[in-house]
Amino acid sequence: MLTCSYCQLANPQHHNFCQDCGKPLDLSACPGCDEEIEPDPQSCVPSPSEEVAEGSTYWWAIIERTPGATANQVDEESAISTVVNLSTIDLQVDQSIVELQISETTPIVLTTYLDPHHRYKLIDPVVIQLLTQNDSSQVRVIDCQPLANSPLEILMEQQLATSDDTSNLDGAAPSEHSGREVDPQRHFWNSHGIPKVAQAYIALQVSLPGTVPTIHDTWDNDGKTITVVEDRNEWTLLLDRWNDPEIPSSQVIYWLDYTLRLWIALEPWQMRRSLLEIGNLILDEDARVCFQRLYPESVDKQLQLADLAQMWKSLFDRSNHPPSPSLDSLLESISSGELVEVEVVKLQLQQIAYELEPKQLSSPLPSSASADLSTPQEAPTTALPQKLLNLEDAACTHVGRKREHNEDCFGIVSRVESQHSPKGKSVSAQGLYILCDGMGGHAGGEIASSMTVDSLREYFSTRWEDTLPDEQTIREGIVAANEAVFEVNQQQSAQGSGRMGTTLVLVLIQDRDIAIAHVGDSRCYGITPTQGLIQLTLDHEVGQQQILRGVDPEIAYGRPDSYQLTQAIGPRDRNYIAPEIRFFELQEDTLILLASDGLTDNQLLENYWLTNVAPLLAPDSNLQDGVDRLIDFANEYNGHDNITALVVRAKLG
């Protein structure tokens, strides 16, 4: 696609003029002079000695030996190409490649373009020279065709366009993962020649949004893999912040815990070496550990947890933060190989955090056999101290393609207050989120869902101040809403299907504490970087009830009444209402998704959450636009019922 530099509309690659404003697509702001000129690679890029104009974008081009390259694919001794800066050499270069000879056996190639198509121009001329197979190099380049999508970006658009053939994608690992299919996605990548290291960037950008730099382009050439990625040179180094005497011990423990989580996430892609290069570790604006680039692991050495512990010890050795005795003992146990289980390390880090900052932690939550946001990957329940940095929400509802009126309803009441200090930013937040899916003849469903939203909104306005309401308070509010709808049914003497009612899913958030309550089959999901998609509620319907009693799922949902609700708001009195209420404490960046069955039917979220929901974890993504697109997609995929989605994004750090 070509992006118009005037109105920013994306146009087809073969168009010469913008479809919207009519301006020529072959004009853009020159990175060197800001003049509107034709984007000619030879004239539109500044010379090595010039500063690039503000707004232009540098990229890092990483050059590595292609895994599995044979001797005839690379130069002698399985070598890979690296680069040596020649900016200090007094040499005039008029052509793109000049061969030199510095000895009888060692040719040197001076080049100004990284690729044969002359798209990526090197900021400084470089020499391609031979090193051992485990080395890699990186050079800064500028894209000479900034308005045109790169070949990789075009392929990714093609993959999204054919998502019906690649459902159940999971970018988190290149092998079997949680029972979900990954082969279709990897087959697409492999069949289109996307290098293995680039596949890791693409997948980890989804499972670890913001942590891995954006990948712009990639290709294999002569036994080398070139990967063009975002330039993060201006980001803060972790080591610099680690040395800050104002950094509390709890923040240091958080960084240790977070790098441990990254270690787990990188293992399937064999990219854990990225954590061992201390200079590669940087921080985003929320003090979360990120990478400047990915480093593939050596085929000659199997990394162990002890290697990560050595990196931790190096950070302490270079800083003003000596480890506490208990932390020092933990590091020694890991480094010596005595402690090798990740979950045990997690538990001990959490215990150390509690010892250092006990007032920042809440009591452990009661154990539960069902999915939980408080215990990532079924880790122990004690939480590492983190702060809520932001809370956002967005919602959308649609009548669907087959219904004449919309019986869904939602309500949002939220308050977010920011506090800034030399130690950073913290947020105090409170949010009430309600979603209802009504039922009943003669527009009764619309009335029931709307009444329930209004009732709960009014109820909590007088019963919720500075702490999260307890279970009894929440239960009484739901019962009160049920009684309001039930009373209308009684007054109208409605019978059978004429009695109006509604499902309910309710979320209350007080800073990092969350309560979730539901009645019926409207659902609540959580999406986190470490756990992916988690269904947090179980449908109140006959089929699910049978499964809980030990019946095989195929038999349970083979019944003709399997999808009949076992409870709902309004049709019966308070004796027949039993809302399920659960409490959690957020431990990492999280999306909370409330959804009516028009969105959840036919396993839509389970099949497509990775491409349609997970990207909203990225803090720079537009939440409302993402929810709108999700509704549009559900309308195409399902469309048989009303569709409602309400998404809350919690950012921690």
Task: Report the 3 state secondary structure along 477-517.
Answer: HHHHHHHHHHHHHHHCCCCHHHCCEECEEEEEEECCEEEEE
Q: What is the mean pLDDT of residues 287-300?
A: 90
Using the predicted structure, report yes or no on whether residue 171 has a pLDDT greater than 60: no
3-state helix, strand, coil in the chain (%, to 5): 30, 25, 40
Point out the least confidently predicted range of 25-29, 210-214, 310-314, 405-409.
25-29
- C-alpha to C-alpha distance for 492 and 497, rounded to whole angstroms: 13
- C-alpha to C-alpha distance for 519 and 523, rounded to whole angstroms: 9
Structure token digits, residue 121? 């121009």
Count of residues in the chain: 653
Instruction: Provide the pLDDT confidence category of residue 493 given band limits of 50, 70 and 90.
Output: confident
Q: Which domains does the chain have, with CATH numbers?
A: 31-143 (no CATH), 151-230 (no CATH), 236-360 (1.10.510.10), 376-652 (3.60.40.10)
Using the predicted structure, report yes or no on whether residue 303 has a pLDDT greater than 60: yes
Tens of pLDDT, residues 577-586: 999 999 999 9
Using the predicted structure, report yes or no on whether residue 362 has a pLDDT greater than 90: no
User: Which residue type does 183 have?
Assistant: D
In terms of pLDDT, which residue wins out, 288 or 434?
Answer: 434
Point out the least confidently predicted range of 31-40, 420-429, 519-528.
31-40
- C-alpha to C-alpha distance for 49 and 123, rounded to whole angstroms: 8
Q: Tell me how far apart the 2 most distant CA atoms of the chain are, in Å.
A: 101
Instruction: Provide the pLDDT confidence category of residue 497 given band limits of 50, 70 and 90.
Output: low
- C-alpha to C-alpha distance for 300 and 107, rounded to whole angstroms: 29
Instruction: Provide the pLDDT confidence category of residue 391 given band limits of 50, 70 and 90.
Output: very high
Residues 6+ apart with CB under 8 A from 127: 83, 84, 86, 100, 108, 109, 110, 111
Instruction: Provide the pLDDT confidence category of residue 189 given band limits of 50, 70 and 90.
Output: confident
**Dihedral angle over CA of 447, 453, 455, 458, nearest 10:** -140
Looking at residue 183, its pLDDT comes to 52
Tens of pLDDT, residues 607-632: 888 888 988 988 888 999 999 999 99
Tens of pLDDT, residues 438-461: 997 656 889 999 999 999 999 999
Nearest alpha carbon to residue 212 among 225, 195, 200: 200
Percent of the chain whose pLDDT exceeds 70 = 73
Using the predicted structure, report yes or no on whether residue 208 has a pLDDT greater than 60: yes
Sign of CA dihedral 87, 91, 94, 100: negative
Q: What is the mean pLDDT of residues 169-173?
A: 44
Using the predicted structure, report yes or no on whether residue 179 has a pLDDT greater than 70: no
Would you tell me the crossing angle of helices 325-335 and 342-356 to the nearest 10 degrees? Answer: 170
Looking at residue 174, its pLDDT comes to 54
Instruction: Provide the pLDDT confidence category of residue 6 given band limits of 50, 70 and 90.
Output: low
Looking at residue 68, its pLDDT comes to 60
Using the predicted structure, report yes or no on whether residue 343 has a pLDDT greater than 60: yes
Look over the chain and give the mean of its residue pLDDT values, rounded to a whole number: 79
Structure token digits, residue 409? 């309803």
Using the predicted structure, report yes or no on whether residue 95 has a pLDDT greater than 50: no
- Residue 453 CB neighbours (<10 A): 21
Q: What is the mean pLDDT of residues 369-397?
A: 66
DSSP structural state of residue 144: S
Sign of CA dihedral 194, 196, 201, 207: positive
Q: What is the pTM of this model?
A: 0.54
**Helical spans, DSSP H, in 517-575:** 542-548, 553-556
- C-alpha to C-alpha distance for 560 and 440, rounded to whole angstroms: 20
Tens of pLDDT, residues 209-263: 889 999 999 998 877 889 999 999 899 999 998 988 877 777 888 889 889 989 9
Instruction: Provide the pLDDT confidence category of residue 14 given band limits of 50, 70 and 90.
Output: low
- C-alpha to C-alpha distance for 438 and 564, rounded to whole angstroms: 14
Using the predicted structure, report yes or no on whether residue 556 has a pLDDT greater than 70: yes
End-to-end CA separation in angstroms for the chain: 36
Using the predicted structure, report yes or no on whether residue 49 has a pLDDT greater than 70: no
Looking at residue 106, its pLDDT comes to 46
- C-alpha to C-alpha distance for 338 and 304, rounded to whole angstroms: 12
In terms of pLDDT, which residue wins out, 117 or 513?
Answer: 513
- Ordered DSSP codes for 366-396: PP-SS--SSSGGG--SPPPP--EEEEEEEEE
- C-alpha to C-alpha distance for 460 and 458, rounded to whole angstroms: 6
